[in-house]
Structure 1
Amino acid sequence: MTVMEQRGAYRPTPPPAWQPRTDPGPLLPDTEPYRVLGTEAAHGADPELLRRLHAQLVLGRRYNAQATALTKQGRLAVYPSSTGQEACEVAAALVLQDRDWLFPSYRDTLAVVARGVDPVAALTLLRGDWHTGYDPYEHRVAPLSTPLATQLPHAVGLAHAARLKGDDVVALAMVGDGGTSEGDFHEALNFAAVWQAPVVFLVQNNGFAISVPLAKQTAAPSLAHKAVGYGMPGRLVDGNDALAVHKVLGDAVRHAREGGGPTLVEAVTYRVEAHTNADDATRYRGDAEVETWRAHDPILLLEHELTARGLLDEDTQRAARDAAETMAADLRARMNEDPVLDPMDLFAHVYAEDTPQLREQRAQLRAELDAERDGQEGGHR
């Protein structure tokens, strides 16, 4: 008797009862990123939405520039700029209702600010002052996530819990292309699809996971194609087209709210500046590549559309710039104030009830601080 003749042996052909659980056709993304600006579809766009997107993009660009300058002045420990990606950041914040939740990564401070969080509070973590600088419940914004993709399972858990409770809530989770290589990404998408959780995953594909290009991370046709393997729709969108990102994310949020389950959106964009202020991007990409993407700048694309429709004049542009400068001046002034910090705050809000290890660490730090203070007082006698 051969191995294949044995009872229960593996056979290369599945039994007749096997069938696909989901028709893959409707889940597949388009072959090209979805665009609106510069097409006929843009002609029917709401003028107020276009103006709002423009004002937020100008504000966001100035915010990125000011935060980057603060790192050079020693007022921020690190800043991962989203310059060039502002369309994704702003659209993600604007498509959500007040009751919805945003789950950002470390690069998404602009989305956090656009959601309504105080600009200084949004930078507190990156300054090194506190675990997070804002109350997540006030604006329904989870803390900035510095570990890659760990916020994604949290978003799924919240969305699933909301659905079980009957709450009309959608979670939108943001992640970079590098985060799609993490196990948390797989676990989050798998659970979201199985549970049909009301969550939207926005992947900002900016070309590099620090210095690693996308081609060295995945051989998939696109990151949006990964959605099919989990049983959810994948959408591919031009991440520098603010109107297109707003439309695709808006559709995905409505789909989730109506019980349609999760969607994976890949926004094709570009990180114009370095990964952070500690990165030398010239070691892995050339100036010509960066300049090519500068010509596809999200602000320029939107301003071209606004100008063509007579919706952008000098007064409107000046008002947007003035608002951005006012924000930057306030951010600069407040970040130049030295905060009063208590090292013992390290242990606040870590657990609802202290663990033995936390109590031991607190006592050790208290003893060290008391000894340091006693030594300083003794030196002044």
Structure 2
Amino acid sequence: MTHTLTPTADVATDIDDVARLLTPEGERIADAELDRYVRDVDAAVLRELYLDMVLVRRIDKEGVALQRQGQLALWPPCEGQEATQIGTARALRGDDFVFPSYRETGVVYARGARPSDFVLAWRGEEHSTYDPYELNTATQQIIIGAQALHAVGYAMGIQRDETDQVSVAYFGDGASSQGDVNEAMVFASSFRSPVVFVCSNNQWAISEPVAVQAKFPIAGRAPGFGIPSMRVDGNDVLACLAAMRWATDHARRGGGPVFIEAVTYRIGPHTTSDDPTRYRDRDEVEAWRRRDPIARVEAFLRAQGAFDDSFAAEVAADADRLAGEVRAAALGATTRAPITVFDDVYAEAHTGLDEERSRFQAYLDALAEEVR
């Protein structure tokens, strides 16, 4: 189901050359290829997807605030990308295994993360990440594109187990230029592995616009590896859900890997250490705000008579509650003494470790003396 792409010089940044089911104004449009994958999605399901996106945005805002207040070392904002993350993640089965990048807060949320799972890693606390086997989701990857290889390796394991699970790799447009991602597609195609590649094209690889690194839609690269692809509106949660259902169905039936390019936008900075005003035009950001993924679902639901003040109040209350739990998890975290870093290195202590511990303790004592 490759969405038709026209090879023009500026098509890489054409935000309308995508598969779509909800317009930015919240109007439902038909797409014969996508519609059959969302026939079960009624107003009640869309309300759940709306709630998911609102909660993810609230987690994200809380993460930014906590970092600004010195409670977190760093935070990678995902505002504007909620539809891509929730739409694709909600299409997965519980036993599928996900390999996310550092920005996939919404994916981790959809996989069942606890409030503490969103913040403790960014505080650098001991054992601060979730158990990957509880969520069937790998630790969020910082190394750009490395998770694509991990996902393919896992998918090759699925083949040997002879199950119908699917492995999923999430990465950004910048990562698509990394060797790891391209090598992963070579292996996935050669072994027809059940893996779905989800590229969140948020238009900016830190300060580098996508037009610099891609003169043709990123989804157009996948067929060159023998991998079917789709370019979808990443701000349309319904289209993202349909695209992922198509992709996982293809992979589960033995069709091999699939590639989805979700065209979206990073409203905030790359991370909280970044200043996007140095490289982005304010008008561009405001134009994308008008394509907000949450607002378009609200507009559609209101037109259907399925969104009222009571529902809005329920959503707001749920968001407040979750934000409070995330904040409490960060503020209530107990940071162990630095010397304890040696405690869990080996099952049994040995003289070499004891010597290193002594040297580190001397270093800490010297620091404490300087402070006094």
* Range moving further from structure 2, 326-335 or 148-157: 326-335
Contact kept in structure 2, 1:109 and 1:123, CA below 8 Å: no
Counterpart code for 1:141: T
Equivalent residue, structure 2, for 1:232 = 227
Q: Following TM superposition, by how much is the alpha carbon of 1:309 offset from its aligned partner in structure 2, in angstroms?
A: 1.1
Superposed, which structure 2 residues align to 1:142-221 within 5 Å? 142-219=138-215, 221=216
Give the structure with higher Rg (CA): 1
- Structure 2 alignment gaps of length 5 or more: 7-16
CA distance in 1, matches of 2:56, 2:247: 24
**2:238 pairs with 1:243:** yes
Letter in 1 for 2:20: R
Q: Which amino acid aligns with 1:270?
A: Y
The C-alpha deviation readout for 1:78-106, integer Å capped at 9, x for no partner, is: 10100000111112321111110111101
Distance 1:283 1:329 in 2: 33
Note the C-alpha offset of 1:115: 1.0
CA distance in 2, matches of 1:232, 1:49: 31
| 1:285 equivalenced with 2:270 (yes/no) | no
Note if contact 2:95-2:136 (Cα within 8 Å) is conserved in structure 1. yes
- Does the C-alpha gap of structure 1 residues 54 and 377 become closer, same or farther in structure 2, counting only changes over 3 Å? closer
In the TM superposition, residue 131 of structure 1 has moved relative to its aligned partner by 6.3
Q: 8 Å contact 2:118–2:326 — kept in the other structure?
A: no
1:294: Cα distance to partner?
A: 0.3
Change (3 A) 1:306 1:191: same
Q: Cα RMSD over matched residues?
A: 2.7
Gap change, CA 1:34 and 1:27, over 3 Å in 2 = closer
TM-score under structure 2 length normalisation: 0.87
1:344 CA drift (Å):
6.1
Q: Deviations over 1:162-218 (max 9, x none)?
A: 111112210111000000010001111110111111110100000110000111112
| Contact map agreement 1:57 1:86 (CA 8 A) in 2 | yes
CA contact (8 A) 2:235 2:263 kept: yes
Shift in CA distance, 193/377, structure 1 to aligned 2, threshold 3 Å:
closer
Q: CA deviation at 1:299?
A: 0.5
Relative to the length of structure 1, the TM-score reads 0.85
Please state whether the residue corresponding to 1:39 is helix, strand or coil.
Answer: coil
**From 118, 121, 143, the counterpart of 1:122:** 118
The one-letter code of the counterpart of 1:35 is R
Paired position in structure 2 for 1:258: 253
What secondary structure, in the 3-state scheme, does the structure 2 residue paired with 1:40 have?
A: coil
Whole-angstrom distance in 2 between the partners of 1:212 and 1:361: 46
Count residues in correspondence: 349
Contact 2:60–2:77 at 8 Å: present in 1 too?
yes
**Deviation of 1:40 (Å):** 3.4
2:67 matched residue in structure 1:
71
In the TM superposition, residue 290 of structure 1 has moved relative to its aligned partner by: 0.4
Distance 1:360 1:277, change over 3 A: farther
**Aligned residues with identical type, % of pairs:** 39
Cα displacement (A) at 1:311: 1.3
- Aligned mate of 2:103, from 81, 101, 107: 107
